């Protein structure tokens, strides 16, 4: 057995720090009375010894374990008052994870022994539970990771095309990925996946939560699991199920390989709540270390949690040490794990102070001033379920935000809803009505029509009702209104006419995303026609409902992949489609102009915009120089053909037909169309015309 001795250590940095002689342990708890470090065997099965952390300064408990090395398996037991009515839930019989742990050992097993109270006690009087949980609990592991080998090369916001995917779902069924890598971090950076990313022209991969998470007990009891992963328990640890050899450096290797191939990696992070749940949840880490500091508690009844997340608890970022933990975690994922940015789940929570959301909150200000974090991409999901929780457009620069107004408006337009032309144009224009303030630019808008949460594009044109029966909640979960249309048959069909129409509508929506000002986000699998069989809340389905079907005969795959590749190339060739500032007519500060056209060939006037039944509009964007290139996008959502007169554009004799969603995208030929003529738009069609002058593109 190793010979260890405990000595006074250092309060900072928090977590563990390794040197040649031992390991320093540091843990924040403002209300603890004593902290014990528990050392386990290398498998985490047997507790070998305990040491009391000998020092406490500024509420940080610390000690230096001489003789310890990287690889040590450990946990904490924290002593203090068990007084839920006052917000304190200390229970030293429960082994706790280090909030700063960089690696974990073992498998978590659900048991009533994780509860700090006796399971059969009434909610108003939770009796203290003295049973030990160590044998069914994860343990922390001391590691000393190296920094990534390949430096980040950021992609400018205006050149960014985001591809949102799930670590397991991306490769679990991909036969081109070796079986041992399928469903893992290393599967994502396999050469076959990199070839696909290049083929469709994306620049940035955004992964659903990769920090260690747990499945809720109610899912476990139904033989389901939290597939999405929005239930974090360790903010510094890559999720173990995505590691093929149980070594956290696999995440770093994935990032290095993707960086080497020219791609960015963003990760979806969940700092708004933890897997410890509500007042009846388990004691796994934060609750047992210092419940009253780590969580927002109900001021009048501290036994209960403020639940602005809908997940049982809310992390208290108003506390400086909790804010410090989140900031340290973010810096770790950038500096050590190598990521290029973050998408923040329920980000309004993070900007909340006791008085409500504040764009100058401690967290938002901390991000802005941080010399490392203000160099990476930060994306907000700008809502929560608390009072005043919807904050689209309310985040400060340099934040970008998921734009649900874009999602809903574009869905409704292509569904055929009437009176939407003005709203449709505002969204394509970059949602200047929402974001053009305080120095924000079009890339503040993350334009998406589908995401992990809700329908895929395939299902958006195939189902009008949710089909979530497999979730075990009697089909009551998930949104009841999805702004979708099935075109005559609910779900799968062999009707060729309906299938052709559905394909065209997917092409129209995919085209709209890529032709809009702002940052496009594509849901992984939409480019191969992925279906979730009508499930619009597939968070608990770790199966073929969520895994991408990479079979070559997948419905629509060839057509949609070719179209996305064409659209991505268009954005690269014509920077005005992703301009770095909002474009306004005759703006002297801009070298790009924008004009909206009626199907008569005339510029849109007020009466055209407000014609209730109008469903056709043209969008011309061009450089101001005499020989500048032009792109003319025409959108027709009507169910009948319509004549469109092409307007007279200076120095344009012929248009190249880059996209026509009524034709196949697989054909690489680019037809030419004489200018100043009338064309017939087929029902529900997008057409993109270009006139390119080499070397005359507007500056970025």
Q: In what helix (H) or strand (E) does residue 505 lie, and over which residues does it extend? A: helix 496-515
The Cα–Cα gap between 369 and 360 comes to: 12
Nearest in space to 659 (alpha carbons), one of 640, 621, 680, 685:
685
For the chain, domain boundaries:
5-141, 158-274+310-575, 584-691
241 included as an active-site residue: no
Q: What percent of the chain shows pLDDT beyond 70?
A: 99
pLDDT at 1: 55
Q: Which of 216, 381, 559, 660 is labelled catalytic?
A: 381
Three-state secondary structure call for residue 506: helix
The Cα–Cα gap between 434 and 520 comes to: 17
pLDDT digits (tens, 9 = 90+) for 526-559: 999 999 999 999 999 999 999 999 987 777 999 9
Neighbours of 269 (CB within 10 A): 23
Average pLDDT score over the chain: 95
pLDDT at 134: 97
Please give the average per-residue pLDDT across 259-275, as a whole number. Answer: 98
pLDDT band per the 50, 70, 90 thresholds, residue 695: very low
Three-state secondary structure call for residue 646: coil
**What φ, ψ does residue 622 adopt, rounded to 5°?**
-155, 155
Nearest in space to 423 (alpha carbons), one of 405, 440, 437:
405
| 675, pLDDT greater than 90 | no
With beta carbons less than 8 A apart as the criterion, state whether 62 and 55 touch: yes
The Cα–Cα gap between 460 and 482 comes to: 8
pLDDT at 652: 87
With beta carbons less than 8 A apart as the criterion, state whether 456 and 523 touch: yes
| 699, pLDDT greater than 70 | no
pLDDT band per the 50, 70, 90 thresholds, residue 698: very low
At a CB cut-off of 8 Å and minimum separation 6, what does 488 contact? 495, 498
pLDDT digits (tens, 9 = 90+) for 139-159: 999 999 988 878 888 999 999
Q: Which long-range contacts (CB under 8 A, 24 or more apart) does 404-408 make?
A: 405/431, 405/434, 406/431, 406/445, 406/447, 406/448, 406/449, 406/516, 406/518, 407/448, 407/449, 407/450, 408/483
Please give the average per-residue pLDDT across 123-128, as a whole number. Answer: 89
Describe the crossing of helices 421-428 and 404-415 by its angle, rounded to 10 degrees.
130
pLDDT digits (tens, 9 = 90+) for 350-387: 999 988 999 999 999 999 999 999 999 999 999 999 99
pTM, whole model, 2 decimals? 0.96
pLDDT at 700: 45
Residue with tokens 């909340």: 352
CATH classification number, 5-141, choose in 2.60.40.10, 3.40.50.300, 3.40.30.10, 3.30.470.20? 2.60.40.10
**What φ, ψ does residue 437 adopt, rounded to 5°?**
-160, 155
Please give the average per-residue pLDDT across 288-293, as a whole number. Answer: 98
DSSP state of 146: P
pLDDT digits (tens, 9 = 90+) for 9-38: 999 999 999 999 999 999 999 999 999 999
pLDDT band per the 50, 70, 90 thresholds, residue 696: very low
pLDDT at 336: 96
The Cα–Cα gap between 185 and 188 comes to: 6
| 418, pLDDT greater than 70 | yes
CATH number for region 584-691? 2.60.40.1180
Q: In what helix (H) or strand (E) does residue 7 lie, and over which residues does it extend? A: strand 5-7
553 included as an active-site residue: no
Q: Which fold has domain 158-274+310-575?
A: TIM Barrel (3.20.20)
pLDDT digits (tens, 9 = 90+) for 191-239: 999 999 999 999 999 999 999 999 999 999 999 999 999 999 999 999 9
Residue with tokens 């398996």: 73
pLDDT digits (tens, 9 = 90+) for 446-468: 999 999 999 999 999 999 999 99
pLDDT digits (tens, 9 = 90+) for 50-102: 999 999 999 999 999 999 999 999 999 999 999 999 999 999 999 999 999 99
Cis peptide before 13 (omega within 30 of 0): yes
The Cα–Cα gap between 446 and 333 comes to: 22
pLDDT at 227: 98
Same fold, 5-141 and 158-274+310-575: no
Among 109-113, 143-147, 406-410, 596-600, which is the least confidently predicted range? 143-147
pLDDT at 589: 85
Among 120-129, 423-432, 498-507, which is the least confidently predicted range? 120-129
Q: Which of 129, 206, 257, 345 is labelled catalytic?
A: 345
Q: Give strand ranges (E) for 598-639.
A: 616-623, 630-636
CA angle 364, 153, 628 (to 5 degrees): 95
């Amino acid at each position: 057995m190793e010979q260890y001795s405990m000595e006074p250590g250092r309060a900072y940095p928090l977590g563990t720090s390794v040197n040649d002689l031992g390991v320093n342990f540091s843990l924040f708890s403002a209300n603890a009375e004593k902290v014990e470090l528990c050392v386990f065997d290398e498998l985490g099965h047997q507790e070998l010894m305990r040491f009391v952390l000998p020092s406490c300064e500024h509420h940080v408990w610390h000690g230096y374990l001489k003789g310890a090395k990287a690889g040590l398996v450990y946990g904490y037991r924290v002593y203090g008052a068990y007084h839920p009515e006052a917000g304190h839930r200390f229970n030293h019989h429960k082994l706790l994870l280090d909030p700063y742990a960089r690696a974990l050992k073992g498998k978590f097993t659900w048991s009533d022994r994780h509860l700090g109270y006796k399971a059969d006690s009434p909610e108003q009087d939770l009796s203290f539970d003295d049973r030990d949980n160590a044998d069914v609990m994860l343990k922390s592991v001391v590691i000393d990771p190296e920094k990534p080998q390949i430096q980040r090369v950021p992609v400018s916001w205006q050149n960014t095309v985001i591809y949102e995917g799930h670590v397991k779902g991306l490769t679990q069924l991909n036969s081109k990925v070796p079986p041992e890598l399928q469903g893992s971090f290393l599967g994502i950076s396999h050469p076959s996946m990199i070839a696909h990313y290049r083929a469709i022209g994306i620049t940035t991969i955004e992964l659903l939560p990769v920090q260690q998470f747990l499945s809720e007990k109610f899912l476990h009891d139904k033989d389901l699991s939290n597939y999405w992963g929005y239930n974090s328990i360790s903010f510094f640890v890559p999720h173990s199920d995505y590691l093929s050899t149980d070594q956290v450096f696999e995440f770093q290797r994935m990032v290095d390989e993707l960086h080497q191939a020219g791609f960015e990696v963003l990760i979806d992070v969940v700092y708004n709540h933890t897997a410890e749940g509500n007042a009846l949840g388990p004691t796994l880490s934060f609750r047992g270390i210092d419940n009253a500091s780590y969580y927002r508690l109900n001021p009048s009844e501290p036994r209960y949690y403020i639940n602005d997340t809908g997940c049982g608890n809310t992390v208290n970022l108003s506390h400086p040490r909790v804010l410090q933990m989140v900031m340290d975690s973010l810096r770790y994922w950038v500096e050590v794990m190598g990521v290029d940015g973050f998408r923040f789940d329920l980000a309004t929570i993070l900007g909340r102070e006791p008085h409500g959301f504040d764009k100058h909150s401690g967290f938002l200000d901390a991000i802005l001033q941080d010399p490392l974090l203000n160099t990476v991409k930060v994306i907000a999901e700008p809502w929560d379920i608390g009072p005043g929780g919807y904050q689209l457009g309310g985040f400060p620069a340099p934040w970008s935000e998921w734009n649900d107004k874009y999602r809903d408006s574009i869905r409704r337009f292509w569904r055929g809803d009437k009176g939407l032309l003005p709203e449709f144009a505002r969204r394509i224009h970059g949602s200047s009505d929402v974001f053009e303030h305080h120095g924000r630019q079009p890339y503040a808008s993350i334009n998406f029509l589908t995401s992990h949460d809700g329908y895929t594009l395939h299902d958006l044109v195939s189902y009008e009702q949710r089909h979530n029966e497999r979730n075990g909640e009697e089909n009551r979960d998930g949104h009841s209104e999805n702004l979708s249309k099935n075109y005559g048959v609910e779900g799968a069909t062999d009707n060729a006419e309906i299938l052709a129409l559905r394909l065209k509508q997917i092409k129209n929506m995919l085209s709209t995303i890529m032709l809009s000002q702002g940052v496009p986000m594509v849901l992984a699998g939409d480019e191969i026609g992925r279906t979730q069989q009508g499930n619009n809340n597939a968070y608990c389905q770790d199966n073929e409902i969520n895994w991408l079907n990479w079979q070559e005969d997948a419905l629509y795959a060839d057509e949609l992949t070719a179209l996305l590749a064409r659209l991505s190339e268009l954005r690269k060739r014509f920077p005005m489609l992703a301009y770095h500032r909002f474009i306004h007519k005759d703006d002297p500060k801009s070298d790009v102009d924008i004009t909206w056209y009626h199907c008569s060939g005339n510029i849109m006037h007020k009466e055209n915009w407000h014609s209730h039944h109008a469903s056709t509009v043209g969008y011309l964007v061009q450089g101001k120089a005499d020989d500048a290139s032009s792109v003319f996008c025409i959108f027709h959502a009507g169910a009948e053909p319509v004549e469109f007169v092409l307007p007279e554009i200076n120095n344009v004799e012929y248009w190249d037909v880059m996209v026509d969603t009524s034709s196949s995208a697989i054909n690489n030929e680019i037809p030419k169309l004489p200018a100043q003529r009338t064309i017939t738009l087929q029902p529900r069609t997008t057409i993109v015309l270009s006139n390119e002058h080499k070397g005359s593109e507007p500056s970025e």
